[in-house]
Amino acid sequence: MSARITCPVLSTRVTSAEDAASHIHHGDNVGFSGFTGAGYPKATPAALHDQIVAAHDRGDEFRIGLWTGASTAPDADGVLAEAHGVSSRLPYNSDPVMRRLINTGEVDYIDAHLSHSAQHMWFGFYGNLDVAVIEVTAVLPGGLLVPSGSVGNNKTWLDQADRVILEVNHWQPRELEGFHDIYYGTALPPMRQPIPLTDPMQRIGEPYLRVDPAKVVAVVETDRPDRNTPFAPSDATSAAIAEHVVDFLRHEVSAGRMPPGLLPLQSGVGNVANAVLAGLDGSEFTDLVAFTEVIQDGMLDLLDSGTLRAASATSFGLSEIGVRRFMDHIDAYKGRILLRSEEISNHPELVRRLGIIAMNGMLEADLYGNVNSTHVMGSAIMNGIGGSGDFARNAFLNFFLTPSTAKNGAISAIVPMVSHVDHTEHDVQVIVTEHGIADLRGSSPNDRAVKIIERCADPRFRPALQDYLDRARAERPEARHTPHLLDEALSWHQRYLDTGSM
Ligand code: 0RQ
């Protein structure tokens, strides 16, 4: 029996990835583990790729519905997309090959709030889950599973799937046991009870996932690293954004709106969010706590320096260097990092109770504070809304961060009207670019427009934005609450599509 598989029943199910993949059939809905490149299955998807390609070569149909926690990696999303083996995908993707197929219309994409994905499955909104393919660190007697580097939707997929394939990854440190808190207290309405979490680092569950051994059709052993994408080094633009955020937090503390140790932090994905964490590290703030989704390298830095006391999340999202650092000092992080299911890490009830400070990236914002986080020029998906809505709408304070321009200055991140809305003006509090901060709290649409143009827009685009606002206000004196020129509102996007520049 492998040292990682000490459950007598499940040790008899150890088999090859090819055999495991043969339990997945055309038309199945398949739930993968995996969140921001951590903890996704690494052998079964490749074997499934080969079986899909072979079926297509025979002229047979073979496509599955693919559900995950969030993004996976080229060896999970990527290989299945390359095989043209996916008919639908939810709830979040950042794989470039999968993104292309979503954008060409080959794959139906359900871009969902991450806190919704598990409960929408229980509610029956997505249909039946046929197979779960879940990476774990170890399999213990009685069907107890030591989770790996992400928890995501694993609890739900394991509970709900008809058949389960486990991948036991020897690359994941065995010492991960004890890093997780899996809450089994969720119920369906009208039987729901409050979630008994009042402190970000409180344990309300147990360290293990559970699986009914009778459902496990295969156990596959692997030894492969997570995706571990490197982060871009912080540049002048992201450093300036970070400085504005830190200054603003200082201001909130001195205004008495926040305690000196701040409130729990949530930090989104991407390079800008990572840079903001680096900005906090150079600040006077210490002993902070994070209640977030993803632990990126920047958060390890904060934990190492003591700026951050502890972090609750659902996943790691580390670079190779970050992983090595985590593994080398894993015992020192125990008790300071807790990984939970995404239905808990992102739960609106908890985000609101704890008073989270949410910091997320965006593609563009408009004059009135509506934010587009997902769709380039209104139509092509980038990644997805992820947890940004879970946190932003329910946060004590939220920031949306972006460089003021994209594509070498051809695109303004501040536009007259966003081409797609993820976060409405009601949910957006503070917009930050390298030029400054627009604090929209308690502001009318017209005040917001003035602040956003003056403080956030790139100076080259300010005159045209001001001109739009002035003419919109003049055109219909009886409709000045949120003035727009409807025939021009999206003309900046159209001009970019036509000429390559806004
Ligand atoms: O594309 O690399 O091809 O040039 O968007 O932009 O500036 O590197 O920003 O890495 O911080 O990501 C919104 C995508 C920002 C991310 C987004 C192009 C730009 C570049 C990336 P290139 P940057 P970041 C919790 C939180 C939604 C989910 C979320 C995201 C690429 O933050 O996915 O918040 N957020 N989850 O050139 C066209 C514009 C653009 C633009 C930037 N206005 N128009 N392209 N780009 N602005 C975590 C989870 O939920 C898992």
pLDDT band at 245 (very low <50, low <70, confident <90, very high): very high
Identify the active-site residue in 293, 343, 364, 434: 293
For helices 320-328 and 297-305, the axis angle rounded to 10 degrees is 40
Question: Is position 272 annotated in a ligand binding site?
Answer: yes
Question: What pLDDT is stored for residue 1 in this prediction?
Answer: 61
pLDDT band at 282 (very low <50, low <70, confident <90, very high): confident
Q: What is the pTM of this model?
A: 0.97
Looking at 222, 255, 274, which one is the last position of a domain? Answer: 222
Question: What pLDDT is stored for residue 269 in this prediction?
Answer: 80
Ligand 1 contact via 294 beta carbon (within 6 Å): yes
Question: How does pLDDT run across 425-477, given as a tens digit for each residue?
Answer: 999 999 999 999 999 999 999 999 999 999 999 999 999 999 999 999 999 99
pLDDT band at 103 (very low <50, low <70, confident <90, very high): very high
Least confident of 29-33, 70-74, 270-274, 472-476: 270-274
Question: Is position 376 annotated in a ligand binding site?
Answer: no
301-318: average pLDDT: 95
pLDDT band at 270 (very low <50, low <70, confident <90, very high): confident
Question: How does pLDDT run across 205-221, given as a tens digit for each residue?
Answer: 999 999 999 999 999 99
The atom of ligand 1 lying closest to the CA of 270 is 10
What's the CA-to-centroid distance between 172 and ligand 1, angstroms?
A: 29
How many domains would you assign to the chain? 2
Looking at 222, 252, 268, which one is the last position of a domain? Answer: 222
CA 295 to mean position of chain CA atoms = 11
Question: Is position 398 annotated in a ligand binding site?
Answer: no
What's the CA-to-centroid distance between 56 and ligand 1, angstroms?
A: 35
Ligand 1 contact via 272 beta carbon (within 6 Å): yes
Strand locations in 106-155 (E): 108-109, 131-140, 144-147
> Same domain, yes or no, for 215 and 361?
no
> With contact defined as beta carbons under 8 Å apart, do 183 and 338 qualify?
no
SS3 at position 361: strand
The atom of ligand 1 lying closest to the CA of 386 is 50
The mean predicted confidence, pLDDT, of the chain is 97
448 within domain boundaries = yes
267 within domain boundaries = no
**Can you give the CATH number for the domain in which 101 is found?**
3.40.1080.10
Whether the predicted pLDDT of 136 surpasses 80: yes
Looking at 178, 204, 222, which one is the last position of a domain? Answer: 222
Percent of the chain with pLDDT over 70: 100
**What backbone torsions phi and psi does residue 104 show, to the nearest 5 degrees?**
-90, -5
What's the CA-to-centroid distance between 403 and ligand 1, angstroms?
A: 10
Quickly tell me which residue has 């450093």 as its tokens.
239
Domain boundaries, position 79: 10-222
**What backbone torsions phi and psi does residue 448 show, to the nearest 5 degrees?**
-60, -45
Question: What pLDDT is stored for residue 412 in this prediction?
Answer: 98
400 within domain boundaries = yes
- Beta-bridged to residue 431, according to DSSP, are 400, 438
Q: Is the ipTM of this complex over 0.90?
A: yes
pLDDT band at 233 (very low <50, low <70, confident <90, very high): confident
Give catalytic status of residue 293 as yes or no.
Answer: yes
173 within domain boundaries = yes
Question: Is position 136 annotated in a ligand binding site?
Answer: no
**Can you give the CATH number for the domain in which 423 is found?**
3.40.1080.20
Quickly tell me which residue has 């990572």 as its tokens.
274
Whether the predicted pLDDT of 370 surpasses 80: yes
